Amino acid sequence: MSSFANRLTQGLEPYTPGEQPKEPGLIKLNTNENPFGPGPKVREAIASFPLEALRLYPDPESVQLRSKLAEAAGLSPEQVFVGNGSDEILAFIFQTFFEAKGEPLLFPEKTYSFYEVYAKRYGIPCLTLPLDADEQIDVTAFDRPSQAVILANPNAPTGCLLTPPEIAELCAQNEERLVVVDEAYIDFAPEGMTALSLLARFANLLVVQTYSKSRSLAGLRIGMAYGSPELVNDLSKQKNCFNSYPLDRLAQTLARAALEEGGYYRHCCAVVRNTREEVAETLRGMGFFVTRSHANFLWIRHPEQTGEELYKALRSRRFLVRHWQRPGFRDFLRVTVGSAEDMGIFQRALAEIIQYNGSVSEVER
């Protein structure tokens, strides 16, 4: 660290992203990317994109994209905010709505680790609440004095899901308290599980989504937030103090194209869900504890081998999965649901590692 870093920077503990392969031949199941590529309309939009337009700044308010997102969600454009992936939007949320004093911000003990990073970065007091024995979030535990609530739904890394009535209960506990629901993985849950339908009832609800997962656009960084016009206006004020042009021209164009092919993405998500359930059933048969995931990953634990042992054994077999050394996390692995072929190879590798003698079924393509 340089001698010029201020005291805040000196004390930062940054978020650690999943490993990106630097060698060929690895099976990458560690960053929850979609095994399917972008849809045909996105490919067409790339091919026809006018390169000369890149000399011009993009629309700072992403009006066309916000209008299309609003139409798809049954909302007004004034209820939609967009940014460079949901992570940037989460950073704006922490800067805009949470205070560095007073009651704590609440989030689950096991959840997206960026929440804790942001809280420390902005000096926001926080309180983490434990999950139950099945790795589920207990909504009633959040009914306590607090400045706000943030949680991922489905939760990451557990994959467990809260239903809209449970989110409504959370919002109703204190309608003067903001509730942020991070729905990065919602498209892998059953239809109708998004909290967007609750926005008409609760002015204290903010829903964050992304095109990195279900829309196969992780490389573009497209995120969105939905809430009341007042909440969106607050976020816009913060954004315009930081970066007036968050989404570039290409990202806006391809995001609009992705919106037009819902059928393709629904099919891809259905295939991922089916693969997830087949693999989960097989792993349970092999003796693993596997949560009831509604995301595009599995949260698994073996009763006889530690998470670190499994991680190293898989890495030696050229698999990348996610493992954390934090308390409560270290016995688990988070495994992205990849292609049917990759998941079949993964299952056989795990069976070899734990010396499982039963049959391992092939994953249907």
Is residue 294 within 8 A of residue 213, CB to CB? The reply is: no
Residues 84 and 158: their CA atoms lie apart, in Å, by: 25
Average pLDDT over residues 37-60: 95
3-state secondary structure of 273: helix
Average pLDDT over residues 264-280: 97
Burial class (CB in 10 A: 0-12, 13-18, 19+), 67: middle
Burial class (CB in 10 A: 0-12, 13-18, 19+), 53: exposed
40-259: CATH topology: Aspartate Aminotransferase; domain 2 (3.40.640)
Q: Which of 233, 232, 229, 182 is nearest to 210 (CA)?
A: 182
Average pLDDT, the chain: 94
- Tokens representing 119 are 């809280």
Residues 264 and 47: their CA atoms lie apart, in Å, by: 19
Would you say residue 363 has pLDDT above 70? no
| pLDDT tier at 359, thresholds 50, 70, 90 | low
Residues 199 and 325: their CA atoms lie apart, in Å, by: 37
Place of tokens 């004095």: 145
Residues 340 and 107: their CA atoms lie apart, in Å, by: 34
Domain boundaries, the chain: 25-37+262-353, 40-259
- Chain-centroid distance of CA 92 in Å reads 16
Would you say residue 248 has pLDDT above 60? yes
Q: How many CB atoms lie within 10 A of CB 56?
A: 8
**pLDDT exceeding 90 applies to what percent of the chain?**
86
Residues 288 and 300: their CA atoms lie apart, in Å, by: 6
pLDDT at 146 (0 to 100): 98
Check whether the bond before 24 is cis (ω within 30° of 0): no
Would you say residue 77 has pLDDT above 70? yes
Q: Which of 116, 203, 96 is nearest to 156 (CA)?
A: 116
How far CA 83 is from CA of 41, 76, 193, 226, 230, in Å, comes to: 22, 17, 23, 12, 17
Average pLDDT over residues 187-214: 97
Residues 288 and 281: their CA atoms lie apart, in Å, by: 10
pLDDT digits (tens, 9 = 90+) for 285-339: 999 999 999 999 999 999 999 999 999 999 999 999 999 998 889 999 999 999 9
pLDDT at 358 (0 to 100): 58
- Tokens representing 116 are 């804790």
3-state secondary structure of 28: strand
Place of tokens 């004093």: 101
List the CATH code of the domain at 25-37+262-353.
3.90.1150.10
